[in-house]
Amino acid sequence: MITRCLIRKKEYYDSVFLMRVAKQIAGQRGILQAATLMGTEKNKVLLADIGFESVEISSATPNDLIIAIRAENETILSNTIENIDQWLNQGVGETGALSYRTIEEAVTHLPRFNLAVISVPGQYADREARKALEQGLNVFLFSDNVPVESELSLKEFAREKGLILMGPDCGTAIINGIGIGFANRVRRGPIGVIGSSGTGLQEFTTLVHRFGSGISHAIGTGGRDLSDQVGGITFLSAMDALESDRETKVIALLSKPPGSSALEKLIQKIQLCRKPVIACFLGLKYQPTHEPIGCKLVRTIDEAASLSVQLATGNLPSLSEKSQQKLEERIRQHRSGKKSEQKYIRGIFAGGTFCYQAQQILQDAGIFVHSNAPLQNNPKLKDPMHSTEHTLVDMGSDEFTVGRPHPMIDSGLRYERILTEAKDPQVSILLLDFILGFNASLDPAGELLPAIDEAISEAKKRGESLTVVASVCGTEQDPQDFNLQFKKLEGAGVFVFSNSAQAARFCGLLITGGS
């Protein structure tokens, strides 16, 4: 085993692009690990944590690209380093692409454009976002590690200028039919949605599409927007924008529980809104004595999508995709092949929102689980690398993505976790999610099917039956093709649902015996 680090001075790349590059390099034969990161202080600490340390790395600046590779031998490593540009040059210099050195230069040449997408190290995000706002541009801020004080200042400035700042750490948006970040290909339509979570927006927009309607705009806010520190500034500005938009007939709101003062502001805005509003606050422990005027409160994202379509079109989509008889038959099959010690569910999620929503659904069924990102009243895992009893793990959290691409891009760590969980004789159910769309893996089901097959086979050898339940988030128009991914999983014996809430509900039925 041999390790080498390469520093490319003053060579900046978007973080999503670098995650994909790292995945491609790591997939080459003989490569044990690969990381491609900008030289921020946080990234250098992350590299040290996974065993990449050198004088060159310590001297790198946030404007320098760090390429760290661990290979089986010198020949493989040298060949990879020599050919590094074949990955870095992908997508660069495409025909028709325009390149500008500064925001000011871009605005001069493209005066009709009104949105800037910013993905720079967190310490520079405030400066670049402010420049864009000063130029009259709305901002999609993908960058994370932005102090909450900077977020508040930027959002107040955006509000003063009549603009919207989405983020920081904003993963998904759809503006005028154009997907940004981790978005899916969905039809245009009468429903606007505002969400603090990227995967939450993906689930909602794809369900609306599959229910036969469409999305006017999907506006991400970043996860802290509805905290009392920020006060819901982007949520409130986005509501104003959607209320004024002639194409939007219904407005949906998706978030974890807001802060108390932020919620009061949001309720006041809802009561003044002239359009119907659907609100889904995942994990909200209390219910108001009455709903705000003009608002319908729902518990899960699939319910929010269904009700939005009903209000926008007058037609109620069916949430049930499998007959009661088929569900009961599957529950009987599940229980008949189990040993008495098989009693636990293990959820291995790429989508943090799906992990959180599944915890809520299981809690409602009286099932409390351990998690590295626990819902209120659920215990926190002592070690996120090791499950205990019922466990749901968000594998997109920082402890799993150090020096590695997000699991929506690279399924490697989820592959290993599936095999690890399947070795536990107390495990009865594996719950997985598969997320399609732009910038995600081109075949997420195909990447994990070998692990699923091996896990089921190993359980059979021990005389056990392992049940695998999954959800797929996407559309038939996505590059991965929703229908193709669905059929691949079904063909492998996976019980598949078209949204994460249904998959979690089914797991609850399996654990409780359908009672």
CA pseudo-torsion sign 73, 75, 79, 81: positive
Please state the domain extents for the chain.
Answer: 2-88, 103-313, 324-512
Region at 494 (left for phi over 0; alpha for psi -120 to 50; beta for the rest): beta
Question: Residue 88 and residue 191: Cα distance in Å, rounded?
Answer: 38
199 CB burial (10 A radius; 0-12, 13-18, 19+): buried
Whole-structure pTM value? 0.87
What pLDDT digit, counting tens, does each position of 134-172 carry?
A: 999 999 999 888 999 999 999 999 999 999 999 999 999
What pLDDT digit, counting tens, does each position of 191-235 carry?
A: 999 999 999 999 999 999 999 999 999 999 999 999 999 999 999
Average pLDDT, the chain: 91
Q: State in words which class domain 103-313 has.
A: alpha beta
Q: Cis before residue 444, ω within 30 degrees of 0? A: no
Hey, what amino acid is at 496? V
Instruction: State how far Cα 371 lies from the chain centre.
Output: 17
3-state helix vs strand vs coil in the chain, percent to 5: 40, 20, 40
The confidence score (pLDDT) of residue 44 equals 86
Check if 2-88 and 324-512 are the same fold.
Answer: no
Question: Residue 385 and residue 383: Cα distance in Å, rounded?
Answer: 5
The confidence score (pLDDT) of residue 95 equals 41
The confidence score (pLDDT) of residue 255 equals 96
* Tokens standing for residue 128: 């670049």
Reference 466, options 445, 480, 481, 452; nearest CA is 452
Contact in structure between 157 and 133 (CB atoms under 8 Å): yes
Contact in structure between 226 and 255 (CB atoms under 8 Å): yes
Helix (H, G, I), strand (E, B) or coil at 198: helix
Residue 428: φ, ψ to 5°: -110, -35
Cα atoms in the 13 Å half-sphere on the side-chain side of 84: 19
Residue segments in the chain with a per-residue pLDDT below the cut of 50: 93-96
Contact in structure between 234 and 225 (CB atoms under 8 Å): yes
CB contact set of 245 (below 8 Å; sequence gap of 6+): 192, 216, 217
CB contact set of 395 (below 8 Å; sequence gap of 6+): 348, 349, 350, 407, 413, 414, 417
Residue 431: φ, ψ to 5°: -115, 125
CB contact set of 266 (below 8 Å; sequence gap of 6+): 226, 232, 235, 236, 253, 258
The confidence score (pLDDT) of residue 391 equals 98
Count of CB atoms situated within 10 Å of the CB of 273: 18
Question: Residue 255 and residue 199: Cα distance in Å, rounded?
Answer: 11
The confidence score (pLDDT) of residue 321 equals 62
Question: Residue 120 and residue 62: Cα distance in Å, rounded?
Answer: 9
Question: Residue 347 and residue 504: Cα distance in Å, rounded?
Answer: 9
The confidence score (pLDDT) of residue 93 equals 46
Question: Residue 272 and residue 294: Cα distance in Å, rounded?
Answer: 8
The confidence score (pLDDT) of residue 322 equals 63
Question: Residue 429 and residue 274: Cα distance in Å, rounded?
Answer: 46
Reference 279, options 245, 242, 254; nearest CA is 254
For residue 247, give the H/E element and its range.
none
Hey, what amino acid is at 162? G
The confidence score (pLDDT) of residue 420 equals 97
Q: Decide which of 3.30.830.10, 3.40.50.300, 3.40.50.261, 2.60.260.20 is the CATH code for 324-512.
A: 3.40.50.261
Instruction: Please tell me the CATH code under which domain 2-88 is placed.
Output: 3.30.70.60
Question: Residue 449 and residue 415: Cα distance in Å, rounded?
Answer: 9
Question: Residue 142 and residue 122: Cα distance in Å, rounded?
Answer: 9
The confidence score (pLDDT) of residue 294 equals 75
